[in-house]
Every structure is written in structure tokens, then in C-alpha cells.
Homo-oligomer: A and B are copies of this chain.
Amino acid sequence: MRSVTCTAPVNIAVIKYWGKRDEKLILPLNDSISFTLSQDQMCATTAVSISPTFTEDKFWLNGKEESLENPRVQNCLKEVRRRASKRKFEGSDEDFLSWHVHICSANNFPTAAGLASSAAGYACLVFALGQVYGVEGDLSSVARQGSGSACRSIYGGLVRWHKGELEDGTDSVARPIASADHFPDLRVIICVANAGRKKVGSTEGMKRTVQTSRLMQHRVKESVLLRLDAIMEAIKEKDWSSFCDLTMADSNEMHAVCQDTFPPCVYMNDTSHSVSSLVHQYNDIKESQGSFSQKVCYTFDAGPNACLFVPGVVIDEFMTLLLRAFPPSASQNMNDYVRGHQTQTMPVSQAYLSLLDDECQAGQLKFIVHTKVGEGPRVLDDSATLLDAETGMPKVTNDSA
């Protein structure tokens, strides 16, 4: 039996992926850029075992056995095996490609909270399969076939997913463009909003946008291209203020084309817009003080959660303000409300306090995650495996999960 257990991170795009040019191969209409987040707070964990004694392929997700027939999982599995078989002909002697596989995956964060769990999950699956089958080279184009944005979780730091030009998608790959500490001591604050109405899923939503939004044509042909060039320059120059403005503008443009979709796809809610407004007002003060490097920026995926990037130097100040604007409700426990890194409450000046809405209501957020930018997938040591080394079965199952 060959076994490996790996973890892979979540990533958050600052230049958004929204719209495919090929549904089946998952090829995007534009390049996107993301931060990979630290795995300390959020990660997917996947164990893969292959053995000549297994009688069938098996798959457990968050403790529950699932069908392996999902075409996206199958695509990943087939592609890793295809690459492994190429390698085998080059010298390996074991016939492990005919062995069945057991896969056991789990997220350490709520799948339902809209925290890009599929990106981490598919990146982890593909990375672990690559390890167990001994496949070398870039795996991002394999992960892409599981979930588009998963390709960016294959690397740490700042990552660019190149849309590629080829019809077969082989050049649609992710590449690291800057290290995790490129903008030093950057904090990532995820405000998990209490969602109301059910939303259109992102696969369906982006399809509908491409089909119905005239503004989307303009985004893809012109606007996002200009912004990609500008943000690459801001990254190169470590120009945090421009990076912030470009990140917020791209998030806004994505949600604009969603609103322009027919019928509209609305992901941000009143809470999302309140967070956005707080950030703009906070930045107005920072700009008026000439403190451009202390600006904060937001980005929103296909859901109401705000993801904020906050320089470490102002994290205590900003979190104090954020918690005043969005306090937990009476039934929420403060220890559970802010997860991950802790901050110190501090006195903030009247200029900042005046930003707070008179009507600010407790309980608009479910919880807040305080994390950082981080590294790519990693291999855990054997003691951490999710699959029993003898039987190849999950060590813990939870069929009610």
C-alpha cells in the first residue's frame, strides 16, 4: 500500500475569475490573481491510499462516503493517472496504476459558509494524488479541472491563473507571482455574513452572466485586461494603496456584471455593502492623513462574505472599529465570534468612531476569521493520516456529518 496525507489552502482572488470560455475543460475568459491563505485557520485535508488489496475505488468527504462518479473528481483522477502512466513507461516497475484508490477528504472549516471550500478541496485532492502516484511538474491544470479556482491553491503567496490560449487548455495554468510575505505582515479578515435568500450557484451564475450581460463583454475585452496590467505593476512596485483600489474595483466590477445578468445574480447583501462602505470611509481618513500604506481593501466572491486585507500595523485599530460596527448579538459568544489570530481592543480616535452607523445592528455577521497569507499544499507526516495504515479505511467516520 502507498499512502499520503496532504493539506491545501483556500485562496481569495483579487482579480476575479467570473465566466468560462470552455465549460467542460473549465477554461476562464480572463486571467485572475489571488492570495493563498494560511492553512492554520482554513485548509482541506486529503488522504489517498492505493493498494493491490483494495477491491474498488472509494471516497469519503467530511466523514461520509460519497460516490466517486462526480465527473470533476473523475477528471482529476484520470489526468493524474495518465501523467503517472507516462512516467511509468519511463522507468517505474510497479503496476500500481491498476490498484484501486481510497480517498478521504475533510475541511477544517464550515463548507456551507461560502469560504471557497471547493478550491481547497480539489487542490488537495490533486496534490495528494500527485504525491501518491509520484507525478512531478505543475499540477495546477489538473486541479483546474476539478474547480477552476482550485488551480490557484496549488501555490502559496500571490498566484496568477493564466487563462491560456490553447483549445485543449494545457496552457491554462496557475503560477506563483510573489511570495506570501511580499506585502509583509498582511492580515486577512473574513466577515462571514448571515446570508438571507438562496443565491444562484457560481457555476450557473457565471454561465448566465456570459450569456446575458453586455457589460461582461466589456469587462473581458478591455476593463479586466487594463486592471491586470495595473495590479501586476502595483505588486512589482509594492504599491499597497494602488493594489487596494484595484482589488476593490475588480470586486465591484464582478458584482456589477452579476447585477447586469438577466435575471440578476445578487451575491452581496446589505451587510456586505455596510462592510464595503466602512472600508471606503476608513481609507478616506487614511488618505487624508497621507497614510496610504495603511489602507484596507475588500473583495467579495459569489456570496455575501467580505474578505478584507489589512496591514498588520493597523490591525488592532481596524478590528476595534470593525467589532464596534459589527458586534456579536446577545446570543453570540465573543470567543467564538472572532476566530484565528487575536487582536487587542484599543482606543480609537473620534474621526474613526464617527464612521460608525447610528443604526449599526448586532448579529449581522455569523463570525469573523482572522488569518494571514500563506503557503501552498503540504504533505503531513504519517501520524496525521486520515486513512488507517493497515486497512486503508477512514480512521474516523461521521455518517451524520
Contact = CB atoms under 8 A, between A and B. Distances in A.
| Interface size classification for chain A | 35 or more
Interface string A250-270: 001101110111111010011
B266 A215 contact: no
Interface string A265-283: 0100110011011001000
Given A197-B277, A215-B215, A252 B260 contact: yes
Nearest to A263: B280
Contact of A219 (B215, B252, B263): B215
A252 B260 CA distance: 5
Contacts of A252: 259-262, 264
A262 B245 CA distance: 9
A215 to B, nearest CB: 4
Given A245-B262, A266-B273, 5 more contacts: A213-B256, A215-B215, A215-B219, A264-B273, A270-B270
For A197, A263, A269, which residue has the most chain B Cβ atoms within 10 angstroms? A263
A332 interface: no
Contact of A253 (B215, B226, B269, B357): B215
A200 B75 CA distance: 49
Contacts of A137: none
Contact of A215 (B196, B256, B262, B357): B256
Nearest to A213: B256
Interface string A180-221: 000000000000000011000000000000000111011100
Contact of A197 (B214, B218, B255, B274): B274
Nearest to A264: B252
A47 B276 CA distance: 45
A104 B273 CA distance: 40
A206 B257 CA distance: 18
A375 B34 CA distance: 55
Contacts of A357: 197
Interface in A291-344: none
Contacts of A215: 215, 218-219, 223, 253, 256-257, 260
Interface string A235-246: 000000000010
A285 interface: no
A277 B280 CA distance: 29
B197 A253 contact: no
A352 to B, nearest CB: 17
